[in-house]
Amino acid sequence: MPQFDFRRYHYRSINAASDAERAAINEELKALYASLPEAEKEIFNAELQTFLATEMGRLKSNYESVKGSGGAN
């Protein structure tokens, strides 16, 4: 079970009203990382990599399904 909820940060960033709000969310995530003991930083990094790979795979799949159904795109 994941220890860190990256999806929450991701959704907040997607729905941010401005670049400044998005930057504040990124700073919040960086501050969380900085506050962790070294052992938890390793877990954080591993979970972040898994989250990013999963999200990129999902986005690629969505893009390909839309691109494939669009005909000449």
- What is the reported pLDDT for 50? 95
- What is the reported pLDDT for 66? 81
Question: How does pLDDT run across 11-65, given as a tens digit for each residue?
Answer: 999 999 999 999 999 999 999 999 999 999 999 999 999 999 998 887 777 777 7
Mean pLDDT of the 1-17 span:
91
The single-letter DSSP state of residue 6 is H
Task: Indicate whether this model's pTM tops 0.85.
Answer: no
How far, in Å, CA of 20 to CA of 45, rounded? 25
Buried b (16+ CB within 10 A) or exposed e, 28-49: ebeeeeeeeeeeeeeebeeebe
CB atoms within 10 A of CB 59: 10
